[in-house]
Chain A
């Protein structure tokens, strides 16, 4: 099984540019999560989807951030316009259910640097 796939692995761009991060969850997983990891704040949940529908986006920091899941095998996280404080590692994770004994499976992340 291929695991959660994220692209790109690294992104360096200038302030003000649009950034799009991509995620392919594990096939058959109904839940998809976007996290951000920084030294100061650790790992924070930004948004999660169930069956392609956003369930909770209370962690999205600002209107500059948006996420979509057009189908069960693809999701994007977009930042427009980007700012230096958005620099972080962004992780996507998926799971087959919320409750019980099913852990979340994480991708290797996208390391984003905004200059």
Chain B
């Protein structure tokens, strides 16, 4: 059974810092890995999607990497801002078997960026 773990569970940093969020998964049979952002009382917003054949994706101040063989991904946020405060969720899309098409989520990292 696929398990997704995110570290740390919570992170508080001053504005301007660069930071790294970690995600690990136990089954490498995935189509892609996705990073989402969730604001309080809201749904999930897709930030970055890395296909299984890719190593990284970038969008603005965000960079996500994927090492499928070791079951790891990192989300790098450069020059953090208070508006980045949210919960960040990592999810993997299963490639086959009885879990085909399913997204398994980690528990999330709660990020607080203070001015």
Contacts and interface: CB of A to CB of B under 8 A. Distances in A.
B45 interface: yes
Contact of B51 (A56, A91, A101, A107): A101
Interface residues of B, number: 25
A42 B91 CA distance: 12
Chain B facing A: main interface SS: strand
A42 B103 contact: no
A61 interface: no
Interface in A65-111: 91, 93, 98-109, 111
Given A42-B105, A42-B108, A103-B49, A98 B31 contact: yes
Interface of A: 4, 31, 33, 42-45, 48, 55-56, 58, 91, 93, 98-109, 111
What are the 3 A-B residue pairs with the smallest beta carbon separation, nearest first? A106-B43, A103-B46, A43-B105
Interface of B: 31-32, 34, 36, 41-46, 49, 51, 89, 91, 93, 98, 100-108
